[in-house]
Amino acid sequence: MKALILVGGFGTRLRPLTLSFPKPLVDFANKPMILHQIEALKAIGVTEVVLAINYQPGVMLNFLKDFESKLGIKITCSQETEPLGTAGPLALARDKLADESGEPFFVLNSDVISEYPLKEMIAFHKSHGGEASIMVTKVDEPSKYGVVVTEESTGKVERFVEKPKIFVGNKINAGIYLLNPSVLDRIELKPTSIEKQIFPKIASENQLYAMVLPGFWMDIGQPKDYITGLRLYLDSLRKKSPSKLASGVHILGNVLVDESAKIGEGCLIGPDVAIGPGCVIESGVRLSRCTVMRGVRIKKHTCISSSIIGWHSTVGRWARVENMTILGEDVHVCDEVYSNGGVVLPHKEIKASILKPEIVM
């Protein structure tokens, strides 16, 4: 089986982290976002993953070459010279996706984090015999999204309603698809939206079915949702493989700590924290609802909550970092500095407090 991951563009919503790495390589729960998807695909027997990309393909491929041999899966790039939307890249990668086997292939949006029930999706796809399957997830506020209206008993998609003013349903497109190769014949090589142009056409022919995603789902393409996504992911890890989570007197709730990280005396860490490889957390530090990426040093008696600390940054003693502060790569926050929602570009030194949310260039 094959799969296409829609990697797309510049990752502007996750700046300043994406100024250092393409978005799919930004760490989430201590490994690059895209690796969560590639591992899930490999686990159900996918042998080749195609990355549809229009930004820094060289960086992506060099990085993923290591994983190709580790995971034993072929990873290739299909590079757009102009943005092709969400369907155009399928036409561009047509030769890589369609082969004589006639097997369906997966398409995933690279921002989506979930439990990836791909095996169940294959069974669902075979059972209904339609041309395409999409995963849907239930949300509390459907009016912010495009809603997928389905026949309850079969999951057959009847129509799509964009940002409905009145309640028509609470299922939205979860960005995970399983498509027969015949879908490629419907897509021209030009900027095209799979959600707005291709799927409604397939649905009008009664060939599109939706499966409700079990477990959690989050689009982690922006900081607030990234932090929420981490909480949901760690919750799911607690249920599925609790041994991967840290434990001890200094741990509160769900915490993921890389084995190479060092944690000092008298810290209180959690809930919902990920600490990456090579990090040093000095004594008396308080961390909650945050991600501390590879090579970071947090000095004594510092408090960090609801924030993302980028690679190789340092936060000084008695500092306080909160309210969606995002430090890019190699940022140095001095002792006793307060950051209230500061978004700091890479390679900066912060000597004065940031009292209200702002971007520090």
Q: What pLDDT, on the 0 to 100 scale, is given for residue 288?
A: 97
Q: What pLDDT, on the 0 to 100 scale, is given for residue 273?
A: 97
Distance CA 352, CA 339 (A): 9
Taking the chain (361 residues) in runs of 10, the rounded mean pLDDT of each run is 83 82 88 91 91 76 80 84 82 80 89 91 92 91 84 89 83 91 88 86 92 89 90 94 93 96 95 97 97 97 97 97 96 97 95 93 85
Kindly report the pTM of this predicted structure. Answer: 0.89
Q: What pLDDT, on the 0 to 100 scale, is given for residue 37?
A: 93
∠ CA 15-252-26, rounded to 5°: 20
Q: What pLDDT, on the 0 to 100 scale, is given for residue 60?
A: 77
Q: What pLDDT, on the 0 to 100 scale, is given for residue 103?
A: 87
308 beta partners: 291, 326
Ramachandran area for residue 40 (φ above 0: left; ψ -120 to 50: alpha; else beta):
alpha
Tens digits of residue pLDDT in 163-188: 878 888 889 889 899 999 988 888 88
Q: What pLDDT, on the 0 to 100 scale, is given for residue 118?
A: 94
Tens digits of residue pLDDT in 141-157: 877 778 899 888 888 99
Q: What pLDDT, on the 0 to 100 scale, is given for residue 90?
A: 84
